[in-house]
Structure 1
Amino acid sequence: MCGLVGIFDTRSRRDIDRALLERMNERQFHRGPDEGGLHLEPGVGLGHRRLSIIDLSSGQQPLFNEDQTVVVVYNGEIYNFGGLAEELKALGHTFRTHCDTEVIVHAWEEWGEDCVNRFRGMFAFALWDRNREQLFLARDRLGIKPLYYSLLPNGELVFGSELKAMKEHPQLSRTIDEHAVEDYFALGYVPEPRSIYRDTYKLRPGHTLLLNRGDAKLVQKAYWDVPFAMLGTPMSLEQAEAELVERMREAVDIRLIAEVSLGAFLSGGVDSSSVVAMMAQVSPDPVNTCSIAFGEAEYNEAEYAAAVAEKFGCNHHVGRVDPDDHSLIDLLAGLYDEPFADSSAMPTYRVCELAKRDVTVVLSGDGGDENLAGYRRYGQHLDDLATKAKMPAAMRSLLGAVGSLYPDTPSLPRALQRRQGLISMGQDPVASFFDINAVIKQDLRHRLFSDSFKRRLHGYDAVEVFREHAKAAPTDDPLSLAQYLDLKTYLPGDILTKVDRASMAHALEVRVPLLDHKLVEWISGLPVDLKRRNGEGKYLLKKSMERYLPHDILYRPKKGFAVPLAQWFRGPLRQRLQNALNSDVLHGAGVFDRRGLQRLFEEHDRGQRDWSTPLWSILMFEAFLQAEAA
């Protein structure tokens, strides 16, 4: 895995500041500690940091075509590069290396913008074609690899794998985007295409960006979407099980190409255990696995991971996380560059740290919940919709109105604390599913935000993120639509961002076979009752894995990769939280009402409410602001 940066002058051929480009590149040293390279020509500067995985001796970047007129910097892996190279050689192209990077420049020469449709893998790249005077940026279909960009007032387009690299450019605006702040406090992350900074964006997954010299117009195109198109040929459950296993095995197999040590994350859950089971089927050597053990049984799945590792004869490594290991708070603020409120980033960082001791590449089980409807929230959403369907629209609207007026008082008996359920009755399906996902519900955000910040939002609500995607969704099935929304928001914005930054901090490459786009396409076309049946999520995956994995691995309750925030905020992090809630930098941002924050803290501290998730979101926002001010 690697990091890329670049500066492109859209207006002229002014010389690019080499020292600036070098500083930008070195800010991503952690993404590629093996080698670094720059390419500069009039109006164009490209930088690259390399983590060597394939063709260790000759895969240096920036990498050129035969006559040096096309150059690329690239982050990722193209797993079908061998077949593509043979096809391109037959068409007359000459290869100097055996790495997947070189396929990109020749594929561009042969197929232009359509080259991305030929690539199977995870990638973000920037390519400069001197003859066409075009800069071409692309990001993989699911958003596994990151790519930020910003068009600056001086006409330069600056881009990079991480915001920290772009922040080296003195003209990059550091003005906070109020809409991004609203999105963050609703979802716990800043969703694509926004970044926390106004005028800086993430290239959307499955999109390309084309610029022509002399034209500052950014031409962005979608080249892929999750189809959710029903499969043409009906199949029995047994046939679906067999095909899923074969497709998973193939997706795993092509991700075992590496010239460095390779292993897998193993949490003991269904997804990671299934990936390890497939690795054991196709690997001639014992699989290297690693997992994290927690001090508290509520979060600990180490015994299940150990059972799977023993079954398949894995070389298993376990790291232990102290239940009071909250030392990473300030580090995470710098690692993610934006506010990021998924507290599982801490154990994710630790498991990446553990893995790097033994391997350079790991396979993970990320994507199974989104693909095969594994999240509990899908069941909650479908139950809500079923309840609403039994009521007349007028009654639902009335209940929603009552909910908005209902007292939000923690002293009420639990049976009378029905505010959120009543509000949900008045919501449409997209708003209802958004509310299930929200880390801070809309009414609580409005109570916490200052009047001045609410005015600056001009009525904007983060639910619009989901509404935009819902309009483009290729399905109206309630379960499929919920999956689609997660694949467009939570997966790239939270899960994949968390893993990319945590792994790259340790120069560790993570591959995700369950997000192979061919597998995702096929699963999306399955009947919904093969994904979720009788309240059981990931139904088909579990059935297909029964011949490989123990019953209690497949059908036990999911624990998740969580940390004991509620206890921390009433114990070892209590003072740290108080300091953050009262800090000058937090209140200088003008986002919060002081009394609202104090009330939130007191209710949690007294045990009246568990406000740990909202409080963590605020703590991480304050840590981001402190890092900005440093």
Structure 2
Amino acid sequence: MPERVAPMCGIAGLFHPFQPAHPPVRTLRAMTDAQRHRGPDGEGFHAEPHLGFGHRRLAIVDLAGGAQPMATDDGTVIVTFNGEIYNHEILRRTLEARGHVFRSRSDTEVLLHGWKEWGADMPARLVGMFAFALWDRGAGRLLLARDPLGEKPLHYAWLPDGRFAFASEIGGLTALPDLPRRLDPVALDDFLALGYVPDPATIYSAIRRLPPGHLMLLGRGEVRSIQRRFWAPPRTAGAGDADAAGALQRRLDSAVRARMMADVPLGAFLSGGIDSGAVTGLAAMAAGEPLATFTIGFAGAADERPDAAMVARRYGTRHVSEDGAAADYLAMARQIPRLFGEPFGDHSAVPTLAVARLARRHVTVALSGDGGDEVFAGYRRYRFHMMAEAVRRLLPAGVRRGAVGALARAYPKLDRAPRWLRAKTTLTEISLDSALGYYGTVCKLAEERRRALLSPAQRAAVTGHDPSARFAALMEECDPEDPLLQAQYADLHTYLPGDILTKVDRTSMAVSLEVRPPLLDPDLVSWGMTLPAEAKLRGGVGKRVLREAAASLLPPDLLQRRKRGFAAELSGHFRAAGLQLRARLTGGPMAESGLFDLQALRQLVDRHASGAADHSQALWHLLMMEGFLAGQQAEQPSREVAHAEAAP
């Protein structure tokens, strides 16, 4: 009998620990309708005293079945589930050997029986991407869990009347008319600093994210909830594998094959990089027919389409590519916050949405190469961090903070100069201690620059907050003798879930496409993180072991090329649109919000438009805020109608 795995979907629910009323289905439907794009193929609801679940379904496997919420035969345990459990067959055999009787082949049912057998220890046994809520009526317990790396989202909030609400996306919670909508000033500061709001916060004070690898337990009649971690990446490196490249290729091949289960068309995102190229090569060899592959490119030196086409020809894929240069970034600045439910500052969300739309015209599932840079040290900032760390260990702290720090402050910020002349960031990192130096490489807007953009009231609200403290705390959890692992560990808790995986989930699910990243298999991640630093980064070249593992899969020229990523020139685009930019950032919802210093915003736009400075990163973040605030204004009338309909 074929394996049955859960469809991708959107989930939502309400729970009141003390009031036994049934949550109205119309309220649950409002929450799931706000996430309809996550599951256009069907819906399901369950309501009983204290609790209600809602579900939107995107059918991937078991197209005729797989209805959710799903309950045990006696109806005492029920689950609403978003994701896939890749080891569900192994778990099923274990549970059957212990007397459990299954009525389907669905991986969803494994959650029900797994809870009965292992209780809250069950999420630690799962291999997959998932976010789910499970209710045990007899025990009066509600369990929520999110996968180890944060591939699937799970948001929650406590409402003023004592109800607990959860949903896949922020929009599922803002569909509730009584949800408080006060913005979190610290989250806004973090967003301006990093380009995303890191877990567990969101832009709303009332809404929180369950962090990756965590579970949450709530109980009937209990005031407090319990939150604990069930998975964490390693904090120390090991001796490594004698044949690390061979071991990696075998592990990656297994991860790719596990993620190819589908009863619908499946393809792969294909850039000119090693990560997606290796995934595509292994998937193409495992597929029974030519694999569909998809690329978005930009004309110029950074165009990845020729490299992607080279891999496509090698494996005979059905390759489709498009030019991403036509994207209207000013228009997308209004759309992106609506898709994400909050401001999101990574402008590569625009081409990511474009490649997701391209893929969705042909397939329902796509494999991606996400995770390779974090696990195998592919980012340029890792090389800079290791070089800076080597200098730190040669220079006394006093010299670094004094002489080098003074030089860094005096050195001009040459945004438009050749890269080899832009030494200010490097000097600054060397002058700082390790964690603060690394934070400087990921920070988009330094404190002085971003606080100058805020209104006096907003500046006062974030006094004493320092986004770098999160990075320092995470890096201190790791081996102090392994600065590379420290940086990777910090990224796995911040940038990967907050930026990369959020971007991929929201843009793909916006067009009802499921994306699966084999490189984020938890066992592969743990194995890769424990490799010694020289296996990942050596001679100034990152992803060393992945390059060696991919040597038999990819053309030699591609293996030697450095990472490019989506390349879009925002600076000139914004310079040409100076008047429109000025109007949007200094009027309308931005002026009415009271969050920003309008004179500072005018000066920022004018300096960029004149060519005196390149403020494209800051301007994009501010456009995200403008789009988000405009969306809030547009939603206000519908919220007022919902309030009126809910009134007795």
Q: How high is the TM-score relative to the length of structure 1?
A: 0.95
Deviation of 1:322 after TM superposition, in Å, equals 3.3
Identify the residue that residue 396 of structure 1 maps to in structure 2. Answer: 400
- Structure 2 residue 488 is the aligned partner of structure 1 residue 480: no
- Structure 2 residue 229 is the aligned partner of structure 1 residue 206: no
C-alpha contact (below 8 Å) 2:291/2:317 kept by paired residues: yes
Deviations 1:176-230 (A, max 9, x none): 0000001000000001000101131100000000001111212000011001444
SS of residue matched to 1:297? coil
**Distance in 2 (alpha carbons) for counterparts of 1:26 and 1:450:** 36
C-alpha contact (below 8 Å) 1:5/1:160 kept by paired residues: yes
**Distance in 2 (alpha carbons) for counterparts of 1:421 and 1:594:** 32
SS of residue matched to 2:10? strand
SS of residue matched to 1:328? helix
SS of residue matched to 1:123? strand
Identify the residue that residue 38 of structure 1 maps to in structure 2. Answer: 45
Deviation of 1:474 after TM superposition, in Å, equals 5.9
Deviation of 1:333 after TM superposition, in Å, equals 1.6
Distance 1:387 1:231, change over 3 A: closer
Distance 1:403 1:65, change over 3 A: farther
**Distance in 2 (alpha carbons) for counterparts of 1:116 and 1:26:** 28
Q: Which moved more, 1:585-594 or 1:89-98?
A: 585-594
Alignment of 1:580-599 (within 5 A): 580-599=584-603
- Of residues 104, 108, 111, the one that matches 2:111 is 104
Identify the residue that residue 516 of structure 1 maps to in structure 2. Answer: 521
**Distance in 1 (alpha carbons) for counterparts of 2:413 and 2:90:** 63
C-alpha contact (below 8 Å) 1:323/1:563 kept by paired residues: no
RMSD of equivalent CA atoms = 2.1
C-alpha contact (below 8 Å) 2:81/2:133 kept by paired residues: yes
Distance 1:545 1:128, change over 3 A: same
Identify the residue that residue 308 of structure 1 maps to in structure 2. Answer: 311
Deviation of 1:8 after TM superposition, in Å, equals 0.3
Distance 1:418 1:319, change over 3 A: closer
**Distance in 1 (alpha carbons) for counterparts of 2:50 and 2:266:** 40
- Of residues 343, 365, 372, the one that matches 2:347 is 343
Amino acid across the alignment from 1:470: M
Deviation of 1:412 after TM superposition, in Å, equals 13
SS of residue matched to 2:309? helix
- Structure 2 residue 386 is the aligned partner of structure 1 residue 387: no
**Distance in 1 (alpha carbons) for counterparts of 2:427 and 2:305:** 39
Amino acid across the alignment from 1:620: M
Deviations 1:106-160 (A, max 9, x none): 1011100111111110000000000110000000000000000011221110000
- Structure 2 residue 584 is the aligned partner of structure 1 residue 569: no
Q: Which runs of 5+ in 1 are unaligned?
A: none
- Of residues 435, 438, 445, the one that matches 1:433 is 438
Distance 1:304 1:442, change over 3 A: same
Identify the residue that residue 166 of structure 2 maps to in structure 1. Answer: 159
Amino acid across the alignment from 1:443: E
Deviation of 1:260 after TM superposition, in Å, equals 1.1
**Distance in 1 (alpha carbons) for counterparts of 2:47 and 2:416:** 66
Distance 1:11 1:298, change over 3 A: farther
Deviation of 1:281 after TM superposition, in Å, equals 2.7
Amino acid across the alignment from 2:310: A
**Distance in 2 (alpha carbons) for counterparts of 1:224 and 1:412:** 43
C-alpha contact (below 8 Å) 2:414/2:421 kept by paired residues: no
Q: Which moved more, 1:470-479 or 1:207-216?
A: 470-479
SS of residue matched to 1:143? coil
C-alpha contact (below 8 Å) 1:58/1:97 kept by paired residues: no
SS of residue matched to 1:537? coil
Deviation of 1:273 after TM superposition, in Å, equals 0.2
C-alpha contact (below 8 Å) 1:12/1:213 kept by paired residues: no
C-alpha contact (below 8 Å) 1:323/1:564 kept by paired residues: no
Deviations 1:245-299 (A, max 9, x none): 00000000111111111111001211000101111232222111111132x2144
Seq. identity, %: 42
C-alpha contact (below 8 Å) 1:194/1:200 kept by paired residues: yes
- Structure 2 residue 255 is the aligned partner of structure 1 residue 251: yes
- Of residues 136, 143, 148, the one that matches 2:150 is 143
C-alpha contact (below 8 Å) 1:55/1:98 kept by paired residues: no
Distance 1:410 1:329, change over 3 A: same
Distance 1:202 1:476, change over 3 A: farther
Alignment of 1:85-104 (within 5 A): 85-104=92-111
SS of residue matched to 2:594? coil
Distance 1:301 1:418, change over 3 A: closer
**Distance in 2 (alpha carbons) for counterparts of 1:324 and 1:336:** 18
- Structure 2 residue 320 is the aligned partner of structure 1 residue 317: yes
Q: Which runs of 5+ in 2 are unaligned?
A: 1-7, 635-648
- Structure 2 residue 21 is the aligned partner of structure 1 residue 21: no
Identify the residue that residue 642 of structure 2 maps to in structure 1. Answer: none
- Structure 2 residue 536 is the aligned partner of structure 1 residue 531: yes
Identify the residue that residue 638 of structure 2 maps to in structure 1. Answer: none
Amino acid across the alignment from 1:525: T
Identify the residue that residue 67 of structure 1 maps to in structure 2. Answer: 74
Identify the residue that residue 627 of structure 1 maps to in structure 2. Answer: 631
C-alpha contact (below 8 Å) 1:400/1:425 kept by paired residues: yes
Identify the residue that residue 141 of structure 2 maps to in structure 1. Answer: 134
Deviation of 1:375 after TM superposition, in Å, equals 0.2
Distance 1:235 1:38, change over 3 A: closer
Deviation of 1:425 after TM superposition, in Å, equals 4.1
**Distance in 1 (alpha carbons) for counterparts of 2:618 and 2:159:** 34
**Distance in 1 (alpha carbons) for counterparts of 2:417 and 2:557:** 37
Distance 1:123 1:278, change over 3 A: same
Amino acid across the alignment from 1:457: V
C-alpha contact (below 8 Å) 1:343/1:562 kept by paired residues: no
C-alpha contact (below 8 Å) 1:361/1:510 kept by paired residues: yes
**Distance in 2 (alpha carbons) for counterparts of 1:109 and 1:155:** 28
C-alpha contact (below 8 Å) 2:578/2:605 kept by paired residues: no
Q: How high is the TM-score relative to the length of structure 2?
A: 0.93
**Distance in 2 (alpha carbons) for counterparts of 1:70 and 1:513:** 31
Identify the residue that residue 639 of structure 2 maps to in structure 1. Answer: none
SS of residue matched to 1:6? strand
Identify the residue that residue 505 of structure 2 maps to in structure 1. Answer: 500
Alignment of 1:335-484 (within 5 A): 335-399=339-403, 402=406, 406=410, 420-473=425-478, 476-484=481-489
Deviation of 1:527 after TM superposition, in Å, equals 1.1
**Distance in 2 (alpha carbons) for counterparts of 1:591 and 1:623:** 14
C-alpha contact (below 8 Å) 2:388/2:426 kept by paired residues: no
C-alpha contact (below 8 Å) 2:366/2:513 kept by paired residues: yes
Distance 1:65 1:598, change over 3 A: same
Amino acid across the alignment from 1:477: D
Deviation of 1:49 after TM superposition, in Å, equals 0.3
SS of residue matched to 1:124? strand
Distance 1:402 1:589, change over 3 A: farther
- Of residues 263, 267, 271, the one that matches 2:271 is 267
C-alpha contact (below 8 Å) 2:293/2:312 kept by paired residues: yes
SS of residue matched to 2:259? helix
**Distance in 2 (alpha carbons) for counterparts of 1:93 and 1:211:** 26
Distance 1:545 1:606, change over 3 A: same
Deviation of 1:619 after TM superposition, in Å, equals 0.9
